[in-house]
Chain A
């Protein structure tokens, strides 16, 4: 099993958002600030790792005919457990994130990874795949949330200390003091616009990289 390949796929080449175009519903719903994006991303990552590990460990017992209901029941249970424990032991955090936790159940990316990867691969590979896919999703959430927050309200990581404790207060920055805000970017329509530009940006970057590596290969080895 090629662990480097798995990491690359999860973070960039096969990124949940930028390449697979999955999980757009929670993505657009929560990314009005970078902090919200980060919180949603970390919670999704935790569920992704747990569900991948669980399904991978049980993959010999799960028959193909009833696999989908089994996956869904396991994922829904994991999400509910995360929801209850956050509410009980991290209530302040839950008040910020609570709304989004339930959204993780409908994140098709989690079912997708379980179905296409964890059900066919051993536990360590499945755990790494869940982690990397989750981090790739977090990257997309923070990038989109950051763009929308900077353009929409002129701040970055506002209320980060609510999410991660007082020690992360230094992340809260006001980039444009006295900025009056640009409402469109905070509304869902702005989410679609920003996502479109980010997707286009990734395509351009990927093409540049491909061009460059092709040129390097084609160069005659005279030197």
Chain B
């Protein structure tokens, strides 16, 4: 068979595209099946590590599997992870976010039974490097200032950066970024207060 003449014919083009699509799809499907479980395991491990960073208490359950989906502020679903000791929910961890200077700032927030903040970590942001990125614990320890705060402690009027008459520091050259983080944490605590019975799994009276 003369390949050069065959290659110039019309049906060959369609056939070639079909074969290429089939081969590449098969390769991708095979790769997805092989790597899928490994990727899932690695992501669960990452999640576990980031959850542990904001939980300074001891617990004995499998945190990653004990999750609950609730409608959060603005109707966006929030996945809440619950840390239990002997079946009792001791603390919950969930993501909160708020628009920063250059896109949403996403934090994980750990809250104990009494509504006190156990820890906050920024997991995703696109703030200006050198100015707004002091919200990362590697750059500055500002984020640790939330530990042990709660709604009402400091009082509601002081849940703001100092420039707005509140309790929390802002950074030189960046007010919008810390303001957004304060707002996100405050919103998260309000969410905890509103959904407390469901979050602490006390509806059934156990």
Q: Mark A19-38, 1 if CB is under 8 A from B, else 0.
A: 00000000000001000000
Q: A170 an interface residue at 8 Å Cβ cutoff?
A: no
Which residues of chain B are near A80, meaning CB under 8 Å?
28, 31
Question: Chain B's interface: helix, strand, loop or mixed, by majority?
Answer: helix
Determine if A87 and B35 form an interchain contact, defined as CB atoms under 8 angstroms apart: yes
With a CB–CB cut-off of 8 A, which chain A residues contact B114?
none
Please measure, in the bound complex, the distance between the C-alpha atom of A187 and the C-alpha atom of B133, giving whole angstroms. Answer: 13
A63 within 8 A of B: yes
Query: Please, which residues of chain A bring their CB within 8 A of the CB of B17?
Result: 66, 69-70
Q: Are A74 and B42 interface neighbours, CB within 8 A?
A: no
9 interchain residue pairs of minimum CB distance:
A88-B35, A88-B38, A91-B42, A77-B24, A63-B7, A84-B35, A183-B130, A66-B13, A87-B39
B-facing mask of A53-90, CB < 8 A → 1, else 0?
A: 00000001111011001100110010011001101110
A122 within 8 A of B: no
Asked if B16 and A183 make an inter-chain contact with CB atoms under 8 angstroms apart, the answer reads no
20 A-B residue pairs with Cβ-Cβ distance under 8 Å, sorted by A, are: A32-B129, A61-B3, A62-B16, A63-B7, A63-B8, A63-B12, A63-B13, A65-B13, A74-B20, A74-B24, A77-B24, A81-B27, A84-B32, A84-B39, A85-B31, A88-B35, A88-B38, A88-B39, A88-B42, A186-B130
Give, as a whole number of angstroms, the nearest-CB distance from B44 to chain A.
11
Q: Nearest B residue to A66 by beta-carbon distance?
A: B13
Inter-chain contact A88/B129, CB cutoff 8 Å = no
Interface string of B25-58 (1 = CB under 8 A from A): 0011001101100110010001000000000000
Return A102 CB to nearest CB of chain B, in Å: 14
Q: CB of A181 within 8 A of chain B? A: yes
A183 in contact with B128 (CB, 8 Å): yes
- Closest A residue to B37 by beta carbon equals A88
| Complex: chain B residue closest to A84, CB-CB | B35
Q: Collect the chain B residues with CB atoms within 8 Å of residue A74's CB.
A: 20, 24
In the complex where A84-B32, A85-B35, A89-B38 touch, is A73 in contact with B21 (Cβ < 8 A)? yes
What is the size category of the interface that chain B forms with chain A? Answer: 20 to 34
Q: Would you call B64 an interface residue if the criterion is a C-beta within 8 Å of the partner chain's C-beta atoms?
A: no
For the complex, count residues of A whose C-beta is within 8 A of B. Answer: 25
CB distance from A130 to the nearest CB of B (A): 19
Query: B131 interface residue, CB < 8 Å from A?
Result: yes
Measured CA separation A66–B13 after assembly (Å): 6
> Quick check: B38 and A77 within 8 Å, CB to CB?
no
Bound Cα distance from A134 to B7, whole angstroms: 31
| B8: A residues at CB distance < 8 A | 63
> Is B20 touching A84 in the complex (CB atoms < 8 A)?
no
**B128 touching A60, Cβ below 8 Å:** no
CB distance from B152 to the nearest CB of A (A): 38
What is the CB-to-nearest-CB distance from A144 to chain B, in angstroms, rounded to a whole number? 17
Give the residues from 174 to 211 in chain A that come closer than 8 angstroms, CB to CB, to chain B.
181, 183, 186-187
Q: Which of B16, B24, B38, B130 contacts A61 (CB 8 A)?
A: B16
Chain B residues with Cβ below 8 Å from A183 are 128-131
CA distance A164 to B18 in the complex (A): 40
Beta-carbon nearest neighbor of A62 in chain B: B16
Pair B31/A81 contact, Cβ less than 8 Å = yes
Nearest-CB distance from B144 to chain A (Å)? 23
CB-CB nearest in chain A for B7: A63
Report A126 CB to chain B, min CB distance, Å. Answer: 18
Taking CB atoms, residues of chain A closer than 8 Å to B28 are: 77, 80-81
How distant is A30 from chain B, measured CB to nearest CB, in Å?
A: 14
Q: How far is the CA of A45 from the CA of B61 in the complex (A)?
A: 45
Indicate if the CB atoms of B20 and A70 lie closer than 8 Å: yes
A87 B129 Cβ-Cβ under 8 A: no
Given contacts A66-B17, A183-B129, A183-B130, contact A77 B32 (CB under 8 A): no
How many Å lie between the Cα of A52 and that of B7 in the bound state? 21
| Cβ B27 vs Cβ A77 within 8 A | yes
